[in-house]
Amino acid sequence: MSLQCDTSNFYTTADWLRHEIGISFCHKEKKQDDIICWQFYFGRANAMLKYDPLSGISLCPAEMNQATFEEKAAFKMLTDTMRVVC
């Protein structure tokens, strides 16, 4: 899931996740090139809300391609939950 935008939309998205789904961010990091990565747990999965100035906002398993089957399943549950809440 990705959306081209600026940092204000990243923070709006983070606030929405906090208030509507009850997400609590456990690790917040700002990297080079203005990339922002905030990790959180959803069920037993470690997920990430990421902002990259070139590609926008993305929501993905924190381990990306190395995510376990259980983490991918929990991430699918998160995206399904977001569809219901929206």
Q: Give pTM, 2 decimals.
A: 0.76
Mean pLDDT computed over every residue of the chain: 83
Residues 10-51 have pLDDT tens digits of 999 999 999 998 999 999 999 888 899 999 988 777 889 999
3-state secondary structure of 15: helix
Residue type (1 letter), 11 = Y
Name which residue leads in pLDDT, 10 or 72: 10
Mean pLDDT of 50-68: 83
Per-domain boundaries in the chain = 2-85
Number of residues that make up the chain: 86
Q: How far apart are the first and last CA of the chain?
A: 14
Question: Nearest CA to 44 among 65, 68, 71?
Answer: 71
Q: Per the structure block, which two tokens stand in for 52?
A: 């990259």
